[in-house]
Amino acid sequence: MARVLIVEDEKRLLRNLRDGLAEEGFEPVTSTNGEAALLIAETQPVDLVILDLMLPGLHGFEVLRRMRLSGMSRPVLILTASEGVDDRVRGLNGGADDYLVKPFSYAELLARVKALLRRGPPRDQMELSAGSLKLDLVQRLVFREDEEIPLSRREFDLLAFLVRHQGETVTREMLAREIWRDSQTLLTNVIDVFVNRLRRRIDREGEESIIRTVRGTGYLVPGARS
């Protein structure tokens, strides 16, 4: 029986979700705030988390961040009241697996929950490496040998994307679309500025950068054999 942690401060919605999931044979655990949810996630086995974003006290994004930091790798479905794309993108970048915009139908929620649970144990690829760099995709950390390199969220996304495409040229168009979700970025030198800043953080002084420039096109992290 899958244990589902529901974090929601609207009491009626929380009750409905709890009862609905229990009827479907899930084992719901509930919390109306982030602090209590974190405690549950750290001390009890949880198979899936349904997380509202607008919570009293800790915001849902912060709850998600702390859950991922503490190594919780189970699927997280975020509930957002906002119709803007920002929260969804931010949530997915921040380690959420899926999102639902309120108001949603219960059938839709149930379908998402089942789909996430079917995916089974955490994504198989939890680590990437390139040269002496290691990326922990679950906790979103980067190490060179054993030393952690602090990166911003976007720097991490950028590096992870380049390393995932190791051995392939990644165009500026791809980066604008995947990392900035915006083609306007292409009109500026934002991408180049970001890549240069990232290089300064991850490369060793005096060594060739792990991120090569492909003139007129984009960037390349050489594959193991190139």
Q: Which residues bind Ca ion (CB under 5 A)?
A: 9, 52, 54
Q: Name the residue whose CB lies closest to Ca ion.
A: 54
Beta carbon nearer to Ca ion, 54 or 128 = 54
Q: Toward Ca ion, which CB reaches closer, 98 or 173?
A: 98
CB of 99 to Ca ion, least distance (A): 14
Let me know: does 6 contact 14? Beta carbons within 8 Å: yes
Pick the closest to residue 153 from 61, 59, 39, 55 (CA basis): 61
Shortest distance, position 39 Cβ to Ca ion, whole Å: 19
CA distance 205 to 209: 9
Measured over the CA atoms of residue 92, residue 95, residue 98 and residue 101, the dihedral's sign is negative
Of 9 and 173, nearer to Ca ion (C-beta) is 9
Nearer to Ca ion, 9 or 157 (CB): 9
- Give least dist CB 55 to Ca ion, A: 6
Phi, psi of 85, rounded to the nearest 5 degrees: -80, -20
**Closer CB to Ca ion, 86 or 182, in the complex:** 86
DSSP-derived secondary structure for 25-85: T-EEEEESSHHHHHHHHHHS--SEEEEESS-SSS-HHHHHHHHHHTT--S-EEEEE---SH
CB count within 10 Å of CB 93 equals 16
